[in-house]
Structure 1
Amino acid sequence: MEVENKFVTIKGYVDGPPSESDFEVAFAVRVLKADQGSNDVIVKNICVSVDPYQINRMKNYSSSQTTSSFATRLVPGEGIDAYGIGRVVASDNSEFAEGDIVVGLLGWEEYSVVRGGNWLRRINSTEFPFSYHVGILGLSGLTAYSGFYNICKPKKGEKVFVSAATGSVGHVVGQLAKLFGCYVVGCAGSKQKVDVLKDKLGFDDAFNYKDEPDLKSALKRYFPDGIDIYFDNVGGEMLEAAVANMNTFGRVAVCGVISEYIDDGRRVAPDMLDVVYKRITIQGFLASDHMNVMADFISTISDHLRNAKIHALEDISQGLESAPAAFLGLFRGHNVGKKLVRISAD
């Protein structure tokens, strides 16, 4: 079977804030055949993830600035790989058969060839929407789960602050913290998002950071007795303010610094005297560091979803052509929940 595969690519390297003119929808003829002995799997993509970190792959970094294979530089004119879910249309891999629903590293494209079947995992249950397996039951959820339990090491009754709290990771962290018995405050960038945090997700309190001219004072107001755990999704001034308000032996889990991705001038260092004298632990991490807890994570979150103890927030754009606009929206605060692009019907 021969198809004209449609995919999204960057026209050139992106410096500063991205715009839709940096992207184009391209076409390439693809033969949907997994050659014998290749171990390859060909997937028709259903839904793919849109994540802020991808902007770091679009910059014209020198090789010395590339710090992780997680953020290897993209090549203009070529496809953009991304986590997603799809249906197998051809396979030379004994672990996957035609018709299987799989999640893994696919791409902003209609069809993906997964070499050797690497990173693929079969989905055997249709209990939840397919999109959940890309978001709350995918890497975003795993980031929240492993970051909160493995990095933050919470204790019941501790005070937890979550930035970008309606984002793909933050909204899960806050709910897990509440279920664990912590006091939880989140921040977001609009009244609508603040209302979602308090009224739908059950945060103890929340605030719009855009309404706060002094973040350190704001956090002092919401945490008069200090912060024990800060789950950082934004970096910059928010990290600085959180550290200033942290208690002795506080823990900071850093999974993203979206405020710094397109503006190097936003980089602000926390007061290192606070870090030393309060013995604060600040640890960056990736979901891929914690694949060993994947089974426990999926079992736990599935049970919470099944019993309505956790709510999944999703923001889904329709059609592959919407991917660039969906991506730009992340940096403008448009999304509420996990940002996804639906490429085809289930």
Structure 2
Amino acid sequence: MKALCLLHYPHGTPQPGDFALRELPDPVPGTGEALVQVTHLSMDPLPRLRMQEHSPVGPAMRIGAPVEGRGVGRVLQSNDPGLAPGDMVVGELGWQSLSVVPTARLVRVEGGRPEDHLNALGATGLAAWFVVDRLAPRDGESLLVAPAAGAVGSLVCQMAQACAPGVKVSGTAVGTRQAAFLETLGVRPLRPEADWPGTVGIDLFVDGVGGALHERMFAHLNPRARVLLLGFVSAYGDDAPPQYGNAAAILMKRARVEGFLLSDHMDRAEEARTGIARWLADGTLRPAETVHRGLASAATAFAGLFADSPPGKQIVELEDAG
């Protein structure tokens, strides 16, 4: 099988040279496992945190081993009666053409394109759905999404507008390509290094950036603002802990600040998928995605997540996806 392996831990922003394409022996499934032909990979920023010796979010990825990550694939062989050859599944398949995974860690999916199950109908869409559900935007409120042009952020912007057509949405964008994309969604683009424009404060803040942006935007919170912390991508390339501060603004504005983890909401996943599917069908939701071709392209696609990447979800289609 082919695998894209972690050559060494990245220093700062990941680079394509941090990974190497290798030929490895084909894996063999054991009891309760399935052999999966990987067809599509999801490019997500969170695995960057595990690409360091002291990972803050679980065990560090092993140097020389295939990069771990979420994907969609087709079952080739199953040692569990609950899955059959030909079934399409989603799970932590890794950046490799063949993967052996315990069947308990796989979710069978039906209908739609494989890409949909890594984007709007997958963890990306579910995260956006529950972020908006938790914030409960109302007409007339101002919402800031950071980052806004990526996979989760762009769906949050659209879902918030669907739930409250009168909400005023702003979002951070890197470069002119992302800014132009946000404008097509009716979102006011904001450069990450800029200050909050105008005199209207922030009622709702979806913060996946942290760091200096977090500090600047907290100074512009309205009284009783509602904030969800999704991550701290500004520090994903650092060994230092993430920076979330400005407690004085929380106190003086009586803001509600919460951390968000998708795992806390998975008991309502089917409810969310039903709603998302309805929005996809009637055109309310327009997921953006870029599909990169070939396993080797995952190195460049992943590195691009931390730079001026194309808008929306980044997906890698393997050579033998058909």
TM-score bin (small chain): over 0.9
Question: Which one of the candidate residues 54, 57, 60 is aligned to 1:68?
Answer: 57
Deviation at 1:31, TM superposition (A): 4.8
Aligned residues: 319
The 1:267–1:286 alpha-carbon spacing in structure 2 relative to 1, beyond 3 Å, is: closer
SS at 1:165 equivalent: coil
How is 1:172-191 mapped onto 2 (pairs within 5 angstroms)?
A: 172-181=155-164, 182-191=167-176
Question: Which one of the candidate residues 309, 312, 325 is aligned to 2:300?
Answer: 325
Deviation at 1:277, TM superposition (A): 1.6
Deviation at 1:18, TM superposition (A): 2.3
CA–CA separation in structure 1 for the residues paired with 2:132 and 2:248: 25
Listed as ranges, the gaps of 5+ residues in structure 1 are none
How is 1:53-202 mapped onto 2 (pairs within 5 angstroms)?
A: 53-61=46-54, 66-69=55-58, 72-115=59-102, 117-125=103-111, 128-150=112-134, 152-181=135-164, 182-199=167-184, 201-202=185-186
Question: Which one of the candidate residues 20, 23, 28 is aligned to 2:24?
Answer: 28
The 1:311–1:25 alpha-carbon spacing in structure 2 relative to 1, beyond 3 Å, is: same
CA–CA separation in structure 2 for the residues paired with 1:92 and 1:178: 45
SS at 1:59 equivalent: coil
Supply the RMSD in Å over aligned alpha carbons. 1.9
TM-score (norm 2): 0.93
The 1:268–1:102 alpha-carbon spacing in structure 2 relative to 1, beyond 3 Å, is: closer
SS at 2:95 equivalent: coil
Letter in 1 for 2:61: L
The 1:107–1:31 alpha-carbon spacing in structure 2 relative to 1, beyond 3 Å, is: closer
Deviation at 1:320, TM superposition (A): 0.3
Deviation at 1:264, TM superposition (A): 5.9
CA–CA separation in structure 2 for the residues paired with 1:173 and 1:282: 18
Deviation at 1:19, TM superposition (A): 2.2
Write out the 4+ residue segments of structure 1 that deviate beyond 6 Å after TM superposition. Answer: none
How is 1:10-49 mapped onto 2 (pairs within 5 angstroms)?
A: 10-32=6-28, 34-35=29-30, 38-49=31-42
CA–CA separation in structure 2 for the residues paired with 1:154 and 1:171: 16
> 1:282 maps to what in 2?
257
SS at 2:147 equivalent: coil
Percent of counterpart pairs with the same letter? 30
CA–CA separation in structure 2 for the residues paired with 1:57 and 1:312: 27
Deviation at 1:342, TM superposition (A): 0.7
CA–CA separation in structure 2 for the residues paired with 1:209 and 1:167: 13
CA–CA separation in structure 2 for the residues paired with 1:147 and 1:93: 35
CA–CA separation in structure 2 for the residues paired with 1:119 and 1:157: 42
CA–CA separation in structure 2 for the residues paired with 1:118 and 1:168: 27
Any idea what the Cα deviations from partners look like across 1:217-250, whole Å, max 9, x if unmatched? xx141xx231111011211121112211111221
CA–CA separation in structure 2 for the residues paired with 1:114 and 1:178: 39
Letter in 2 for 1:302: A
Contact 2:210 2:244 in 1 (8 A): no
Contact 2:7 2:18 in 1 (8 A): yes
TM-score (norm 1): 0.87
Letter in 1 for 2:115: S
Contact 2:178 2:310 in 1 (8 A): no
CA–CA separation in structure 2 for the residues paired with 1:154 and 1:239: 20
CA–CA separation in structure 2 for the residues paired with 1:266 and 1:245: 24
Letter in 1 for 2:41: V
CA–CA separation in structure 2 for the residues paired with 1:155 and 1:332: 32
CA–CA separation in structure 1 for the residues paired with 2:255 and 2:104: 38
CA–CA separation in structure 1 for the residues paired with 2:96 and 2:176: 35
SS at 2:35 equivalent: strand
Deviation at 1:67, TM superposition (A): 4.1
Letter in 2 for 1:83: R
